[in-house]
Structure 1
Amino acid sequence: MFSDVGPLELLTLMTLAVLLFGPDKLPEIIQNVAGFLRKVRELSESAEQEIRSELGPELKDLEFEDLHPKTFLRTHALDGDSLGLDEIRNALDLGAELTQVADAVRGAADGAPQDAAAPGRVSLTKDTAAGAPARPAFDPDAT
């Protein structure tokens, strides 16, 4: 019940309760609060039992925690990845593409020539190979 309340916070609350209500009335107030919590718990358990009896024997194992939207989606939609969510996540993952771009930029900054035979790499420099025919210069008067 107090899983996220630390010991110092609990001590502060107890000290504040003693100062507000006094040591004489504090046990009576604690009994009243405990009784109220007990009644609320009994009310919720009786409502659960009534709902189970109204639903019938085919839904006797129904757990109400399973009807929470997050739990429902986790158990029914995401199990087995029937929707192909892993493929979508991988397609939208920009990490691999960013590392490729960063590697290309680092290579260009270092002055290292990029290997044209490497798969997935494109040379951004102009190749003037001897075997390639040179384009003639454009002559606007020739037309």
Structure 2
Amino acid sequence: MFNIGGGEFVLLGVLALLLFGPEQLPKAAQQVGRVLRQLRKMADSAKDDLREGLGPEFKDFDVQDLNPKRFVQKHFWEAEDDEEEGARRPASQLNGKRPPFDDEAT
């Protein structure tokens, strides 16, 4: 999600030390950890409630499928059967083979 390098991490640590001080920093870190655990627990609970509410027809439903990038990738690039597999994969996954092309089609 975030790409934080070593330098940025050290800068955030120094900034937190200056803001909270050495006495309050462990307490602030505990509170942040507690809040993150609660948020994760709430998100997992919401996912479970959504799956339960959708019923058994959507047992393989994944919330990540709602991401537009993943939706397009799943529905346009994944092959349904072996015959169409080469025609549906992007050019980067065709192992050097060019997909069929018709000059008169466009």
TM-score (norm 1): 0.53
Residue 46 of structure 1 aligns with which residue? 45
Higher relative contact order (CA 8 A, sep 6+): 2
Aligned length: 87
Query: What's the C-alpha RMSD, in Å, of the aligned pairs?
Result: 2.5
State how far apart, in whole Å, the 2-side matches of 1:16 and 1:78 are. Answer: 45
Residue 107 of structure 1 aligns with which residue? none
Task: Give the superposition deviation at 1:24.
Answer: 0.4
- Structure having the higher helix fraction is 2
Task: Give the superposition deviation at 1:17.
Answer: 0.8
Task: Give the superposition deviation at 1:74.
Answer: 1.1
Question: Match for 1:46: what amino acid?
Answer: S
State how far apart, in whole Å, the 1-side matches of 2:53 and 2:66 are. Answer: 17
- Pairing of 1:14-93 with structure 2 (within 5 A): 14-79=13-78, 80=85, 81=87, 87=101
Q: Provide runs of 4+ in structure 1 moved above 4 Å.
A: none
Instruction: Mark the structure with the bigger radius of gyration.
Output: 1
TM-score (norm 2): 0.70
Task: Give the superposition deviation at 1:20.
Answer: 1.2
Task: Give the superposition deviation at 1:15.
Answer: 0.9
Unaligned runs of 5+ in 1: 93-143
Question: Match for 2:38: what amino acid?
Answer: K
Instruction: Spell out, residue by residue over 1:4-61, the C-alpha distance to the aligned partner (whole angstroms, 9 max, x if none).
Output: 1111111111011111110000011111111111111011100000010011112111
State how far apart, in whole Å, the 2-side matches of 1:74 and 1:19 are. Answer: 45
Q: Percent identity?
A: 41
Task: Give the superposition deviation at 1:77.
Answer: 2.0
Residue 12 of structure 1 aligns with which residue? 11
Task: Give the superposition deviation at 1:78.
Answer: 3.3
State how far apart, in whole Å, the 2-side matches of 1:74 and 1:39 are. Answer: 32
